[in-house]
Copies of this chain bind each other. A is one copy, B any other.
Amino acid sequence: MPDEFSRIARYFAPLAGEAGLGLKDDAAVLAPPQGRELVLTVDQMLEGVHFLPGDDPALIARKLLRRNLSDLAAMGAVPLGYLLTTALPAVLSEDWLAGFAAGLAQDQKAFGLKLLGGDSSSSLHEISLTATLLGTVAPGAALRRNGARAGDEIWVTGTIGDAVLGLQARLGQREDPTGFFIRRSLLPEPRVGLALAGLVTAAIDVSDGLVQDLAHIAEESGLGAVIEASLVPVSPEAAALGDSVLQARLTGGDDYELILAVPPGKDEALRAACGAVAVTKIGVFEPGAGVRVCAVLGDEIPLKSLGWKHF
């Protein structure tokens, strides 16, 4: 592995945008886009916590960006750029770094991002990575968690629950003959670019589990929420596994789909705003507190947990 200055010059400087000053200064200098507000978020990816030893470095890089892009999507923001930290154990090969940088480059291009700066360190044991993403929104247009109203419908993008089944497959707890679940676990699709402003009253992305993340909207909006399990959109691959994976699907997380609060009667407008991204109505916000999950016939389903928490 080359030393930190060689690493930066060879692998990261080529990723830098104008504001990154070639990664040759103490900090980035950015003229904020006129008439826009800034949206800022940061997420970590730690070996052994967020990914497994031996995982493809390009996919790690892309998921690092995508998890953060999903947070921008949940705020209705357009991606702008990012800062990166890497802490790498000395035993890591330069090939790992080349693959990691290639993954960053691929998703920078896919999502219109530029590298603004970062910090490069050694690490005693695990690989430790963070990305701080900047995006922009029109003033006052950021989607919040606290805007849902009683009677607003609960919608989700895409399908829910594939990623946790992929994690189970990677841990040897499940078959995945086509690799579909594993792909969904390693490479989520952040739902950036949807025209949700003015249409959606609240939003969050599903990182810790559908129920737990929905509960955040409910709590911040001072409401309860009820969803019907049979309405939660499922991939054909997960549907084939039947009800045995229902609890995992509803609480497993790592989906990076959006949960949206939408006033009634907006189905057509919402579908138009989401274009090629499928959206599905799964429930409604109601006065009260907490999230209830009902089966198709209306009985509440008790859940073993709501979702993932660190510790």
A2 vs B309: C-alpha distance when bound (angstroms): 10
Q: Does A41 contact B (CB under 8 A)?
A: yes
Number of copies: 2
Residues on B with beta carbons closer than 8 Å to the beta carbon of A31: 37-38, 139
Chain A, residues 71-108, CB within 8 Å of chain B (1/0): the string is 11011010000011101001000000000000000000
Nearest CB on B from A151, distance (A): 22
Of listed A49, A121, A142, residue having the most chain B CB within 10 A: A121
Residues on B with beta carbons closer than 8 Å to the beta carbon of A117: 40-42
A44 vs B84: C-alpha distance when bound (angstroms): 10
> Chain A interface: which size bin?
35 or more
| Given known A1-B311, A120-B310, contact A40–B30 (CB-CB < 8 A) | yes
Smallest CB gap from A47: residue in B: B124
Q: Are A5 and B124 in contact (CB under 8 A)?
A: no
A274 vs B201: C-alpha distance when bound (angstroms): 50
* 12 A–B pairs (Cβ distance < 8 Å), ordered by A: A1-B311, A24-B220, A26-B75, A26-B145, A27-B39, A29-B38, A29-B39, A48-B124, A49-B121, A83-B132, A121-B310, A123-B126
Smallest CB gap from A75: residue in B: B27
| Given known A74-B26, A83-B132, A87-B49, contact A3–B311 (CB-CB < 8 A) | yes
CB < 8 Å neighbour of A145 from B24, B47, B83? B24
